[in-house]
Amino acid sequence: MSNKPSLPQGTRDFGPEVVRKRQYILQTIRTVFELYGFQPLETPAMENLDTLMGKYGEEGDKLIFKILNNGLDNPAKEAASREAFDKVLTGKSTKDLTERALRYDLTIPFARYVAMNHGQLTFPFKRYQVQPVWRADRPQKGRYREFYQCDADVVGSRSLMNEVDLCWIYHTVFTRLGLSGYELRINSRKLLAALAEACGGAEKMMDITIAIDKLDKIGLDKVKEELATRGLDEAQIATIEKYLQIEGSNEEKLAAITELLGGSEIGNKGIEELRHVWSMMQEAPGNGDSSSRLTPQASRPHLALDFTLARGLNYYTGIIFEVKAPAEVKIGSIGGGGRYDDLTGLFGVPDVPGVGISFGVDRIYDVLEELRLFPDTVAQGTKVLFFNLGEQEGRAAWGLLQALRAEGIAGELYHESAKMDKQFKYAEKKGIPYIAIIGSRELESGTVVLKELATGKQEPVPFAALAERLGGS
């Protein structure tokens, strides 16, 4: 059949169980953002094409989904449309054909929002945003054309307290999700700047950053090769190798980096900032969670200084973060972020510095799934199914069900009088933990036969005791 329906490549339907598990992750993150004084923002799925183009590099521009203008088949507009289309074919500006596009990330729309509203906003402005973004990337395992981003940023403040809070947000979220083996790494772009200085000048910083960023993937030897290709000489490469090989405790690392780069002003600034953030992590009681899940040892962020952290080719200028999933799952980065000097300059509003972090929701989902960390109750919807055993029995069941729902207990009555077997299967397939049976005998005695599917155990429960037995909300 030719009209068999399908989904666009790289997109996904999320059925009930997956939606519930995703909501559990997103709700945990949102709750922690709120605890730290961040406020929600939502921007539209489409932005003016102008707002997006030229913000993500040449490669990025090609991956933006553009929306075709409506009314192109209006004969009056034909000449203009044709002209516009000629421009599209040569990759030029295309306002007559498309003037809107789907959001590619949450940062540029946030910058656009701050630039448009900076007169009304209270600074520092702490916002979080949890929305889908779209990219015309080639779909492959773990890479989708529609996926959620989950960001928190503080803008209008240079205080390192923000960095400290963001570290604690990571820790609190991952602790609440039961992911105690995560690793939080930090570095400062200022050290990379100082390293570039030590290797012949600031203009080398981009080459060095690009090469270092590949260390995890290609190893030290290949990084050295790449540095050579990019024009660094042996002495410079030796300095970089020394930098990359710094090891030990955070305290030992700080000593070593001071020896290597402490002579430079910017290097010293970076070291000072890292030391400040790290020392603040040692203070204050753990606040991962007050639940029993949290052992005392796990209640403080595992913060590791990692000078090999580079965070690709973005706009960061200060402290940068990266979170790695526990090593046993081989999933890699599940979050990252950093400090930038200028969020809104592109939109004509200068001097808005800030710092932000992001959670990789799809990957966190995979980690929790692989480590079986989703609580059993997350995927549960309906708590009890009432069997429907006839007109009168059904009505009695429905009355009782309404009383349960009023107590906050999610329940259903099977939609029609049918064989017990069929009704039983419905409960089983839908993962409903309890069934409640009211036949003619139960109707007389005012009791329900309550059966727990997991154990097969069943017992009679008086109508009036059912809500308490099932535990309201």
Does position 159 interact with its own copies (CB under 8 A)? The reply is: yes
Q: What does the alpha-carbon distance between residue 26 and residue 31 come to, in Å, rounded to a whole number?
A: 9
Single-letter residue type at 325: A
The stretch among 69-77, 194-202, 329-337, 448-456 that binds its own copies (CB under 8 A) is 69-77
Q: Residue 239 Cβ, how far from its own copies at the closest point, in Å?
A: 36
Does residue number 71 form part of the binding site for its own copies (CB under 8 A)? yes
Which of 90, 297, 377, 455 is close enough to bind its own copies by CB under 8 A? Answer: 90
Query: Which pairs with CB-CB distance under 8 Å and at least 24 residues apart come from 413-421?
Result: 413/385, 413/386, 413/388, 414/385, 414/386, 414/387, 414/388, 415/388, 416/388, 417/388, 417/389, 417/390, 417/391, 417/393, 418/388, 420/387, 420/389
422 near its own copies (CB under 8 A): no
The count of C-alpha atoms lying within 13 angstroms of the C-alpha of 22, restricted to the half-sphere facing its C-beta, is: 18
> Of residues 44-63, which lie at the interface with its own copies (CB under 8 A)?
44-48, 50-51, 62-63
- How many angstroms separate the CA atoms of 390 and 398, rounded? 12
Closest approach, Cβ 346 to its own copies, in A, equals: 8
Does the footprint of its own copies cover residue 20 (CB under 8 A)?
Answer: yes
68 binds its own copies per the rule CB under 8 A: yes
| List 57, 82, 218, 219, residue binding its own copies (CB under 8 A) | 82
Least separation, in Å, of the C-beta of 396 and its own copies?
10
Binding mask 215-254 for its own copies (x = CB under 8 A): ----------------------------------------
Binding of residue 410 to its own copies (CB under 8 A)? yes
User: Which residue's CB is nearer to its own copies, number 111 or number 266?
Assistant: 111
For its own copies, which is the closer residue by CB, 94 or 236?
A: 94
Whole-angstrom Cα distance, residue 100 to residue 45? 10
User: Shortest approach of its own copies to residue 94 CB, angstroms?
Assistant: 9
37 scored as a contact of its own copies (CB under 8 A): yes
Residue 395 interacts with its own copies (CB under 8 A): yes or no: yes
Least distance to its own copies from the beta carbon of 316, Å? 19
Q: Dihedrals φ, ψ of 467, to 5°?
A: -60, -45
Distances (CA, A) of 222 to 205, 214, 227, 310, 318: 18, 9, 9, 16, 27
Q: Which residue has the tokens 């042996």?
A: 234
Contacts of 399 (CB under 8 A, 6+ apart): none
Going by their DSSP bridges, the two strands 46-48 and 303-305 should be labelled as unpaired
